[in-house]
Amino acid sequence: MRWSQLFIPTLREAPAEAEAASHRLLLRAGYVRQVAAGVYASLYLGQRSLLKIARIIREEMNRIGAQEFYLPALNPAELWQTTGRWDLDVVFKLKDRNQHDLCLGITHEEEMTQLACGELRSYKQLPQIWYQIQEKFRDEPRPKGGLLRLRQFLMKDSYSFDLEESGLDVSYQKHVEAYRRVFQRVGVRYLFVEAYSGVMGGSVSGEFAAPAEAGEDRVAVCPCGYAANLEKAEANPAPVEDLPGNDPPEIFATPGQKTIEELVHFTHESPARMIKTLVYWVESTPVVILLRGDHSLSETKLAASLGTNVFRPATPEEALAAHGAHLGSLGPVDLKAEVRVLADRALQGRKNMIAGSNQDGYHLRNVTPGRDFQAEFADLRTIEAGDLCPRCGKPIELISTIELGHVFKLGRKYSEAFGARVLGPDGKESPLVMGSYGIGLERILAAAVEQNHDEDGMFLPRSIAPFDVILTVANMDDQALRTAGETLYLKLLERSVEVLFDDRPERPGVKFKDADLIGIPYRITLGKQKFQQGLAEIFDRSTKKIENVKLAELEEALDAKIPG
Ligand SMILES: [Zn+2]
């Protein structure tokens, strides 16, 4: 294609609101334009990249025997009321002219399960894997970061239907392998991590995450290969040395000291030698939660421990009424009320700690869990950098990531809700066993930019770059250069090279700046001086290395760089 005839609105400056590199560069390179918060239009270059990403995903899905569908985003309320997801606050809802409730799909478990229901009748029709590449809508509370958190986005979602769990294991594994091939082919570095399954409600799930500073997720990683989602990750805290002695708890005055920070400052003691006491209302019952002073509660883990996610922190008034002291003075010894006490495992085996005394203005020292109070121990805390890897015992690291894809074993949750049952070989009916699997297309593009950019622009992996090569004629007014450029352009087209011919009557500096910006892997430059010596330049955008190649050998040199 000839740049002079295309719409590629590059920008010299990044818009002020764009913080993430991918947001800034995709706007500057003319890939996308914002329509509303979290809603973007893909322009010519952006659409070329997204179509390449879609093609790779299609090829890999087809390879595992998945069948491509296309389901509408406009859904009747009844579908979502069947599973109770109508009330999720991310659902965009609307009414038609007859006042019927509708919504825009956040995902497609409901529609796919309803399709399966009544159509799949026998185990002989199984397994099935159905997928689509389609728009999803989510009313995100804080859409931001360009293509990283969108309210309307493209997703490849697929759904597997099996008779038994063993079949689901196979379908799940096929997806994990297909996803590995997809992410390898699109050239994005990724981790496969264990994940908490959030609103999906499945029990086993995995997440494909691209390490990138702009990412909003945090993943715990270890050089041994261990990788886990922060919400779910288990790790052992680095050991703490306890104070010696076996004295009983001793009360001491701590006037006005309420937070762990204040107490650290007041006592000159490490927060790791303190017990943090929280009060939660679980359904309608108060529960006391204990953590090491420097640790924080993972509500995800708390939900797993309690077997419910109906809970909230107690208000200061509720805590005072129940325990006779304010929140900052509560502790596990001699609690005023009979109450369930949950303690994080990091408190197990510790001794001589500082805790609240259940009397405002006083704390206790020499508090020893198990001797001075009883508790149920559970994994309740959010892990931290420096914790020890559960696999190899070395310190873990926390990194920021972008979620690219997710694989879920849903089990029978959706098929039971819809009554989607099949006859088994024994003649008995049973609910379908399902899996659901997603990949975000814009996220792949954004992650590729986050991982491959510098101050001048981006360098996309060739598999998803809008073109393989940009052919830059430094000066279109130079007749010899112009003719050589036109000839080379046609030759490259004949060889099926995806080439963008920068034939604009612009200064060379402008052309080079644009070429550096828009993410095309190679630039061929025809410049006056080298051309007179029979040479052209091949510029590798990712390494910024320039190679001088004889004009006659240019196509061969290019073939070696972009085979096939
Ligand atoms: Zn490890």
Q: What is the pLDDT of residues 184-210, one digit of tens each?
A: 999 999 999 876 544 444 468 899 999
Integer angstrom CA distances of residue 193 from 77, 151, 206, 329, 508: 34, 25, 6, 39, 46
User: CB burial class (10 A; 0-12, 13-18, 19+) of residue 529?
Assistant: exposed
What letter does residue 149 receive in the DSSP assignment?
Answer: B
* CA nearest neighbour of 208 among 397, 26, 443, 411: 443
Place of tokens 């996308």: 32
Q: What residue ranges define each of the domains in the chain, with the CATH number in brackets?
A: 3-233+398-449 (3.30.930.10), 250-378 (3.90.960.10), 467-561 (3.40.50.800)
Tell me what pLDDT residue 195 has: 62
Contact of 541 with 516, CB cutoff 8 Å: yes
Phi and psi at 280, nearest 5°, equal -120, 150
Phi and psi at 195, nearest 5°, equal -140, 160
Q: How far is the CA of 21 from the centre of ligand 1 (A)?
A: 31
Tell me what pLDDT residue 197 has: 46
Contacts of 422 (CB under 8 A, 6+ apart): 120, 121, 122, 123, 125, 126, 163, 429, 430, 432
Give me 532's structure tokens. 């007179």
Q: Interior CA angle at 30 toward 26 and 32, to 5°?
A: 60
**Encoded amino acid at 117, one letter:** C
For residue 122, the tally of other CB atoms under 10 A from its CB is 11
Contact of 6 with 43, CB cutoff 8 Å: no
* CA nearest neighbour of 469 among 412, 383, 540, 526: 540
The region that residue 334 occupies, defined by phi over 0 for left and psi between -120 and 50 for alpha, beta otherwise, is left
Q: How far is the CA of 237 from the centre of ligand 1 (A)?
A: 13
Q: How far is the CA of 169 from the centre of ligand 1 (A)?
A: 26
Contact of 127 with 99, CB cutoff 8 Å: no
Q: How far is the CA of 347 from the centre of ligand 1 (A)?
A: 23
Pair type for strands 518-519 and 545-550 = unpaired
User: CB burial class (10 A; 0-12, 13-18, 19+) of residue 145?
Assistant: buried
The region that residue 428 occupies, defined by phi over 0 for left and psi between -120 and 50 for alpha, beta otherwise, is beta
**Separation of first and last alpha carbons in the chain:** 19
Q: Compute the distance between CA of residue 222 and CA of residue 213 in angstroms, rounded to an integer.
A: 17
Sheet holding 453-454, edge to edge: 453-454, 457-459, 518-519
Q: Compute the distance between CA of residue 355 and CA of residue 369 in angstroms, rounded to an integer.
A: 11
Q: How far is the CA of 117 from the centre of ligand 1 (A)?
A: 44
Contact of 135 with 123, CB cutoff 8 Å: no
Q: How far is the CA of 328 from the centre of ligand 1 (A)?
A: 36
Q: How far is the CA of 397 from the centre of ligand 1 (A)?
A: 10
* CA nearest neighbour of 112 among 130, 85, 136: 130
Q: How far is the CA of 208 from the centre of ligand 1 (A)?
A: 19
Give me 496's structure tokens. 């099926």
Contact of 549 with 536, CB cutoff 8 Å: yes
Q: Compute the distance between CA of residue 8 and CA of residue 13 in angstroms, rounded to an integer.
A: 15
Q: How far is the CA of 188 from the centre of ligand 1 (A)?
A: 23
Q: How far is the CA of 392 from the centre of ligand 1 (A)?
A: 4
Tell me what pLDDT residue 199 has: 40
Tell me what pLDDT residue 201 has: 45
For residue 165, the tally of other CB atoms under 10 A from its CB is 12
Q: How far is the CA of 522 from the centre of ligand 1 (A)?
A: 39
Q: How far is the CA of 224 from the centre of ligand 1 (A)?
A: 4
Phi and psi at 75, nearest 5°, equal -120, 145
Give me 274's structure tokens. 């303190």
Tell me what pLDDT residue 202 has: 46
Beta bridge partners, 407, equal 206, 437
Tell me what pLDDT residue 196 has: 53
Place of tokens 């399709």: 115
- Which residues of the chain have a pLDDT value below 50? 197-202
Give me 298's structure tokens. 């993972």
Q: How far is the CA of 350 from the centre of ligand 1 (A)?
A: 25
User: CB burial class (10 A; 0-12, 13-18, 19+) of residue 424?
Assistant: middle
